């Protein structure tokens, strides 16, 4: 008789194998950062998403005292699954890239490249997207100079609007801060916002380079979650 192991592990332990994947970072400002955090969090190949503040000079920006910074997301992704060029296409197709600073710099279209390779890709894809969109892109583009993580309540914002779902995740994430860097939480945050679907996510999890029992635990959690 086989005795099943019902021990539950926390998300960082379940996702431990993902740390060895190749990883690059993209930094985007696309208006209010809650939506982009969910949109990018739903994409296969994205490993982590974070909301925060970038692009300005004000020290220690906060949501209430942002100064000259912009609401921004950082996206860690596996370039063997999703290229930087593809993240750029998602970026420009998913917001209106202008500099209409009706609330200062808080919601402007902003991009910070992390190296010369990214800079070259930005110029190449910007031209491609201007041809596709039919207008001039006004995104503020500059080298990356820093990113300040937003307060915890702004991380995985849409997922946190479902307290029932959070209660079901409590055994995996007893502290809400665990959700910030979790790939599973990123996918759930996108899912509740309407990006992606359960079947595709179950299939994706089957291919994650984590322990087989960890894959099964995450898939069982997803199958039985009530929203």
To the query of whether residue 23 is one of the catalytic residues in this protein, the response is no
What are the residues whose beta carbons fall under 8 Å from the beta carbon of 119, sequence distance 6 or more?
113, 143
Quote the DSSP letter at residue 25: E
CB 72 within 8 A of CB 27: yes
Task: Count CB neighbours of 13 within 10 A.
Answer: 12
User: Please, what is the Cα angle at 223 between 222 and 224, to 5 degrees?
Assistant: 95
CA pair distance 211, 208, nearest whole angstrom: 9
The catalytic position among 16, 21, 32, 178 is: 32
Report the side by side order of strands in the sheet with 109-113. Answer: 140-143, 109-113, 24-30, 70-77, 46-54, 148-149
Which residues are designated catalytic?
32
């Amino acid at each position: 008789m086989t005795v099943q192991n019902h021990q539950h592990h926390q998300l960082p332990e379940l996702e431990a194998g993902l740390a060895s994947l190749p990883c690059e970072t993209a930094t985007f400002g696309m208006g209010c950062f809650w939506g982009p955090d969910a949109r990018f969090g739903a994409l296969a190949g994205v490993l982590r998403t974070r909301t925060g503040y970038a692009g300005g000079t004000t020290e220690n920006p906060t949501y209430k005292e942002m100064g000259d910074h912009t609401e921004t997301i950082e996206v860690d992704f596996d370039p063997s699954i999703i290229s930087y060029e593809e993240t750029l296409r998602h970026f420009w197709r998913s917001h209106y890239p202008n500099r209409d600073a009706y609330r200062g710099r808080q919601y402007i279209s902003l991009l910070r490249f992390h190296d010369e390779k990214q800079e070259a890709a930005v110029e190449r894809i910007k031209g491609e997207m201007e041809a596709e969109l039919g207008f001039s892109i006004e995104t503020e583009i500059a080298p990356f100079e820093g990113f300040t993580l937003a307060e915890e309540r702004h991380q995985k914002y849409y997922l946190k609007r479902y307290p029932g779902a959070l209660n079901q995740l409590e055994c995996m994430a007893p502290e809400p801060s665990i959700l910030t860097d979790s790939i599973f939480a990123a996918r759930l945050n996108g899912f509740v916002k309407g990006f992606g679907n359960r079947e595709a996510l179950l299939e994706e999890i089957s291919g994650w380079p984590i322990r087989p029992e960890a894959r099964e635990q995450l898939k069982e959690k997803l199958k039985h979650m009530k929203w």
